[in-house]
Amino acid sequence: MTLDPAVVWLTIFVLSVFVGVEVISKVSSTLHTPLMSGANAIHGIILLGAVLVTGTADSGLALVVGLVAVVLASVNVVGGFVVTDRMLRMFQRRKPAKGQPAGSDGAGR
């Protein structure tokens, strides 16, 4: 009995979705930013793979699918780093404005 390769790939995809959801749901909120940075690095590898596969495409359909994959992977990498940078800025301390002592919020209290 031989399994259809499409069924095998679909099974692997569904199992990976379940594993991914379980892993992400167990991560504390303080580790989300480092996890996102690691995920961005992995997406960079996916982008490289998409470029390599698209470069060796021998049919028009494979070339179009590869180009879509390259565009989506690029958007994902850039967007991920932008969001990570924005989140890291949220954790930086603000410098006091000139003329105000440190620790004063300027509310006049």
- Percent of the chain that is helix, strand, coil (3-state, to 5): 70, 0, 30
Tens digits of per-residue pLDDT, 20-43? Answer: 889 888 888 777 777 777 787 888
Residue 39 falls within a domain, yes or no?
A: no
What pLDDT is attached to residue 14? 96
Q: Is there a contact between 43 and 76 (Cβ–Cβ < 8 Å)? A: yes
pTM of the full predicted structure?
A: 0.56
Residue 78 falls within a domain, yes or no?
A: yes
Give how many domains the chain has, as a whole number: 1
Return d(Cα 40, Cα 87) in angstroms, integer: 14
Residue 104 falls within a domain, yes or no?
A: no
Query: What number of helices (H) and strands (E) belong to the chain?
Result: 3, 0
Residue 32 falls within a domain, yes or no?
A: no
Residue 66 falls within a domain, yes or no?
A: yes
What pLDDT is attached to residue 104? 57
Chain-centroid distance, C-alpha 91:
20
- Collapsed DSSP state (helix, strand, coil) of residue 86: helix
Tens digits of per-residue pLDDT, 41-76? Answer: 888 888 898 899 899 988 999 899 999 999 998 998
Domain that holds residue 61: 50-90
Q: Is there a contact between 42 and 50 (Cβ–Cβ < 8 Å)? A: no
